[in-house]
């Protein structure tokens, strides 16, 4: 459905919308829109207005303590295949409980996926770490120490985007559901990442205006990797995406490196991601 700009709250005043072509969005015409997080935006107030519960960190649970996140990181290091200390350091910083419903906040530092509404889930911390770790091992990332310009498909609640933008030069994160795109914007506002743009649209088309991307990561799985992602991957870049047939348990993480002459494809762990759907709502 096109973005008609009517049904949504009119905040924040400074949140700029641009179309995928980079032009300012005209009501009713944009195929998708991009929210630019401005440091001086009045989102904090909007956040409180939109959902008062979310503006109050759960009290008395110790969730704001760095120790809670450090324990999660220690468990990830010990119990999973995640050993990239750069990813673990960032995950030790980002407050995951701020991205989920307050009723689920006590589970935020367990290695589990959690519902985020609209039938979607926030990915398990170990899976987030695994995917970003794979991006960091890409040829160009090894050479530069950064995952560079990054495209994320499936913003969801915005947690993975928050981690990505600490390891990337700039991040474009696309979500097809307007309600989740808006929620992610609210969750991310306190940290105010300057190098993150949230896009509302169909991520199967990638995001041509800012291509090519050194890194592309998908949090939703289709039967195969859309051609647009391969086209928008830079030479020397790496794509990580869950891919697999409709049969339960057949989804795996696929890593694709673009070389001067073509694409190198490798299959990794079995995973279970929500489906990559067409269109946006
Ligand atoms: N990285 C997210 C995980 C969200 S789950 C987080 O940290 O919370 C995957 C998300 O992909 C869902 O929100 C779903 O709506 C979205 N999605 C599915 N198909 C999509 C598409 N074609 N374009 C953009 N987003 C899509």
As beta bridge partners, residue 174 has 153, 199
DSSP 222: B
Cβ(217) – ligand 1 distance below 6 Å: no
The tens digit of pLDDT for each residue in 27-83 reads: 222 334 555 544 333 333 333 334 434 444 554 567 778 899 999 999 999 988 788
Q: Which residue has the higher pLDDT, 214 or 12?
A: 214
How far apart, in whole angstroms, are the C-alpha atoms of residue 193 and residue 170? Answer: 10
| Nearest CA residue ID for atom 26, ligand 1 | 154
Q: Does residue 11 register a pLDDT over 50?
A: no
- How far away, in angstroms, is 219 Cα from ligand 1 center? 6
Task: Say how many C-beta atoms besides its own lie within 10 A of residue 134's C-beta.
Answer: 23
Per-state percent for the chain, helix, strand, coil, to nearest 5: 30, 25, 45
Cβ(188) – ligand 1 distance below 6 Å: no
Please choose, from the candidates 121, 127, 125, the residue with its C-alpha nearest in 3D space to the C-alpha of residue 101.
121
Cβ(277) – ligand 1 distance below 6 Å: yes
- How far away, in angstroms, is 226 Cα from ligand 1 center? 15
Atom of ligand 1 minimally distant from the CA of 277: 19
Question: Which two three-digit tokens encode residue 194?
Answer: 């300057």
Cβ(43) – ligand 1 distance below 6 Å: no
Q: Which residue has the higher pLDDT, 36 or 231?
A: 231
The tens digit of pLDDT for each residue in 252-266 reads: 999 999 999 999 999
The residue length of the chain stands at 281
Please answer whether residues 29 and 17 qualify as being in contact, where contact means their C-beta atoms are separated by less than 8 angstroms: no
What is the predicted pLDDT for the residue at 15?
Answer: 29
Considering the chain, what percentage of its residues have pLDDT values greater than 90?
Answer: 69
- How far away, in angstroms, is 89 Cα from ligand 1 center? 24
Please answer whether residues 130 and 81 qualify as being in contact, where contact means their C-beta atoms are separated by less than 8 angstroms: yes
What is the predicted pLDDT for the residue at 61?
Answer: 61
Choose the residue to mutate in 95, 132, 154, 173 for probing ligand 1, maximizing ligand atoms within 8 Å of C-beta: 154
Backbone phi and psi for residue 63, each to the nearest 5 degrees, phi listed first: -75, -20
Q: What is the CATH class of 30-54+126-271?
A: alpha beta
What is the predicted pLDDT for the residue at 247?
Answer: 66
The pTM score is 0.83
Q: Which residue has the higher pLDDT, 215 or 190?
A: 215
How far apart, in whole angstroms, are the C-alpha atoms of residue 61 and residue 49? Answer: 24
The tens digit of pLDDT for each residue in 84-109 reads: 999 999 999 999 999 999 999 999 99
Q: Cα separations (Å) of 100 from 90, 107, 121, 134, 250?
A: 18, 9, 10, 25, 28
Please choose, from the candidates 49, 48, 159, 146, the residue with its C-alpha nearest in 3D space to the C-alpha of residue 96.
159
Pairing of strands 220-221, 274-275: parallel
Average pLDDT over residues 228-249: 90
Q: What is the mean pLDDT of the chain?
A: 82
Please choose, from the candidates 135, 170, 121, the residue with its C-alpha nearest in 3D space to the C-alpha of residue 241.
135
In the set 17, 41, 123, 126, the catalytic residue is 123
What is the predicted pLDDT for the residue at 245?
Answer: 64
What is the predicted pLDDT for the residue at 196?
Answer: 98
How far apart, in whole angstroms, are the C-alpha atoms of residue 207 and residue 229? Answer: 9
Average pLDDT over residues 106-116: 95
Q: Does residue 216 register a pLDDT over 50?
A: yes
**218 is an active site residue:** no
Backbone phi and psi for residue 106, each to the nearest 5 degrees, phi listed first: -65, -20
Cβ(274) – ligand 1 distance below 6 Å: yes
Q: Does residue 179 register a pLDDT over 70?
A: yes
Please state the domain extents for the chain.
30-54+126-271
Please answer whether residues 20 and 181 qualify as being in contact, where contact means their C-beta atoms are separated by less than 8 angstroms: no
The tens digit of pLDDT for each residue in 193-210 reads: 999 999 999 999 999 999
């Amino acid at each position: 459905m096109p973005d008609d700009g009517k049904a949504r709250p009119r905040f924040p005043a400074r949140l700029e919308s641009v179309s995928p072509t980079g032009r300012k969005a005209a009501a009713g015409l944009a195929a998708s829109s991009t929210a630019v997080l401005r440091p001086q935006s009045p989102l904090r107030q909007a956040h409180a207005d939109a959902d008062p519960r979310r503006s109050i960190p759960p009290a008395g649970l110790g969730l704001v303590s760095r120790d809670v996140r450090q324990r999660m990181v220690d468990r990830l290091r010990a119990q999973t295949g995640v050993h990239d200390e750069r990813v673990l350091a960032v995950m030790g910083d980002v407050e995951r409980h701020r991205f989920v419903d307050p009723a689920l906040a006590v589970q935020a530092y367990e290695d589990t996926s959690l519902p985020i509404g609209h039938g979607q889930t926030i990915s398990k911390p170990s899976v987030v770490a695994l995917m970003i770790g794979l991006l960091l091992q890409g040829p160009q990332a090894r050479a530069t120490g950064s995952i560079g310009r990054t495209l994320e498909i499936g913003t969801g609640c915005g947690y993975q985007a928050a981690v990505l933008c600490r390891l990337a030069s700039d991040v474009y994160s696309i979500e097809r559901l307007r309600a989740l795109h808006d929620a992610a914007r609210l969750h991310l506002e306190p940290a105010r990442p300057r190098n993150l743009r949230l896009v509302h649209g169909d991520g199967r088309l990638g995001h041509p205006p800012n291509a090519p991307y050194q890194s592309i990561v998908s949090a939703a799985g289709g039967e195969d990797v859309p051609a647009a992602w391969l086209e928008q991957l830079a030479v020397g870049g790496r794509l990580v995406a869950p891919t697999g047939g409709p049969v339960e348990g057949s989804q795996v993480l696929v890593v694709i490196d673009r070389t001067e002459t073509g694409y190198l494809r490798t299959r990794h762990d079995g995973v279970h991601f929500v489906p990559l759907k067409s269109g946006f709502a």
